[in-house]
Amino acid sequence: MKLLPPDAITPTTPLRLEVAAQLGFPGGSMTASSLRRLVVAQKLEHEKIAGKYFVTLSAIEQMRMSCRVPAKAPDLPSKKPEADNPPGSSETGNGPSALDAMNAIAEGLKENLQPTSSKSTTHKKPSATVIRMGSR
């Protein structure tokens, strides 16, 4: 494969995937097969000429921009720390806790329960008289 001189390559020069991987990702962090997977997944703009894939450095840059993950902003406290709540300590709201709410719901459900057994579960004594028979 004949390589172009570096000064002849512009952001819009069509490049084979092998060359584009070398130029777009120096150090070998991406390969031609990695770029091919992106092309097939339609995540990398490309041209298909005579059955061969071509991409530009500009298309690689656009793909990198779409893959960029923004940094997560640090969580900031909504209130200023007070003397009784030093920085780094946990603070809960003044309302009822989740445990209190769960216990209140459980008590309400207990009050509405119906008995599951019959009214009388005690065994009655037999009404017949047992007569013992003597031994022979």
H or E segment to which residue 97 belongs: none
Residues 6+ apart with CB under 8 A from 21: 28, 30, 31, 32, 34, 35
For the chain, the structural domain boundaries read: 10-67
Q: For residue 35, count other CB atoms closer than 10 A to its CB.
A: 26
Sort strands 47-49 and 15-16 into parallel, antiparallel or unpaired. unpaired
Q: For residue 85, count other CB atoms closer than 10 A to its CB.
A: 13
| The two three-digit tokens of residue 68, written as one number | 């960029």
The whole-number average pLDDT for the span 76-81 is: 62
pLDDT in tens, 42-68: 999 999 999 999 999 999 999 999 999
pTM above 0.85, yes or no: no
Half-sphere exposure of 21 (CA within 13 A, CB side): 16
